[in-house]
Structure 1
Amino acid sequence: WAGTLFLLLLDHIIPHLHLNSDEPEGPKSALSKNLKLVLAVTLHNIPEGMAVGVVLAGWLTGGADLSLGAALALSLGIAIQNFPEGAIISLPLAANGEGRARAFVLGTLSGIVEPIGGALTIVAASVVVPVLPYLLAFAAGAMLYVVVEELIPEMSAGHHSNIGVVAFSVGFTLMMALDTILG
């Protein structure tokens, strides 16, 4: 829940476009549509960097039951899906008049928060391992928010788009609690 609520807060603080819609310009329209798109993908990359950093830190310190293969599989999976994310940034920027090289660089830089977050987590590995389960849960909650908010268009349709995310999170929590209680 902390991860979901953290990204919900960032969703309100950082002006951005939702990846799945051409939402009308609202009170945050002082920024260009291109910049909002870059901020949307950058915001979405925060939990990905957290997840990779936490898993790698857990493996490096040996304090968690994590294998190098699992850490590398997660890192590789997230790295592979970053290629289309970079294209989501680069192609519209180029189509809207940015130079091809600049559009490519901006698309690449939209993912810079991932390695920075991962590196900061690894540096803090001695502190991270005791709270590893909580950090993984935080990252999972943040990823849950991203998936529901950005990848299920019906959940974020309409003026009160966050109601769908919160309702999904409540339902998910209830089902996980029932699964744990009932075995």
Structure 2
Amino acid sequence: MELFAGIMIPFAGTALGAACVFFLKNEIKPLLQKALLGFASGVMVAAAVWSLLIPAMDMSASMEKFAFVPAAAGFLLGMFFLLGMDKIIPHLHIGESQPEGKKSNLKKTTMLVLAVTLHNIPEGMAVGVVFAGMLAEQTEITLAGAMALSLGIAIQNFPEGAIISLPLKSEKGMGKGKAFLYGILSGIVEPLGAFVTVLLFRFIQPVLPYLLAFAGGAMIYVVVEELIPEASRGEHSNIGTMGFAAGFTLMMILDVALG
């Protein structure tokens, strides 16, 4: 039951954020959106460091001076994996007119959802790998630590759900119910990916440090490539910076206090 709850908590954050479409008349104001994007960036960076990269190096302590190898290799592989996904999957970011990835005849609304889904892939991987590590009885990963990661990702998923559903209603003229559906669909990849990873935990145990770092690298790619540039665009970029500080601090506290 705890395992199921831990995996579903991040998805619940996305769903609650998407539900804002029923309570807010207009999309989130630009300054608040900058703050939320910065906040999400801070949470993801702190989660990548404390919940993924540091445990990956701790698990490799027997390699002594070369304990960094699994973390470094996994991190770079995660970065290149997201780079490849970014180039292949057609997607469109909020506020942009030109889609990225391969040329496609997909609707703009579909590509908007795919853009957020790309952000959520590494988060689902991270949750799945951490809970798989817990099941594999790795002493470095506790239930409390895994729950802290899930809770942190859920908190940053809330604004992501709102940021995708509200513009669909206001800019695309979509009904509230349909905009909410698109919002939660963007986050469904997280629990699906996490459950598959957990089911395979016995097979991935030997390469767990690499997979932890892989998820960390993928998360950092999303932050540097998408979230921070969006939060820094135009005036008042310092709002995004302060949001980053708040998110990083909160995730750091959650991981250390609960882990």
Aligned mates of 1:129, 1:64 — CA distance in 2: 13
Q: Per chain length, whose mean CA-contact separation is higher, i.e. which structure has more relative contact order (CA < 8 Å, sep 6+)?
A: 2
Aligned mates of 1:151, 1:86 — CA distance in 2: 14
Conserved 8 A contact 1:55-1:66: yes
Q: 1:13 aligns with which of 70, 88, 93?
A: 88
Aligned mates of 1:114, 1:47 — CA distance in 2: 8
Structure 1 135/25 Cα, relative in aligned 2: closer, same or farther at 3 Å? closer
* 4+ residue runs over 4 A deviation: none
Identity of aligned residues (%): 63
Q: Counterpart of 1:79 in structure 2: which amino acid?
A: A
Counterpart in the other structure of 1:4: 79
Conserved 8 A contact 1:64-1:129: no
Aligned mates of 1:64, 1:47 — CA distance in 2: 23
Q: Within 5 A, what are the aligned runs for 1:104-119?
A: 104-119=180-195
Structure 1 120/29 Cα, relative in aligned 2: closer, same or farther at 3 Å? closer
Aligned mates of 2:157, 2:139 — CA distance in 1: 27
Aligned mates of 2:99, 2:145 — CA distance in 1: 42
| Residue 149 of structure 2 is aligned to residue 74 of structure 1 | yes
Q: Within 5 A, what are the aligned runs for 1:14-53?
A: 14-18=89-93, 22-24=96-98, 28=103, 30-53=105-128
Q: Counterpart of 1:13 in structure 2: which amino acid?
A: I
Q: Within 5 A, what are the aligned runs for 1:70-149?
A: 70-95=145-170, 96-149=172-225
Aligned mates of 1:66, 1:24 — CA distance in 2: 42
Q: Counterpart of 1:111 in structure 2: which amino acid?
A: G
Aligned mates of 1:110, 1:92 — CA distance in 2: 14
Aligned mates of 1:138, 1:50 — CA distance in 2: 9
Aligned mates of 1:64, 1:129 — CA distance in 2: 13
Q: CA deviation at 1:64?
A: 4.5
Q: TM-score, normalised by structure 2?
A: 0.56
Q: For structure 1, which runs of at least 5 residues remain unmatched after alignment?
A: 158-183
**SS of the counterpart of 2:202?**
helix
Q: CA RMSD in A?
A: 2.3
Aligned mates of 1:28, 1:119 — CA distance in 2: 31
Q: For structure 2, which runs of at least 5 residues remain unmatched after alignment?
A: 1-75, 234-259
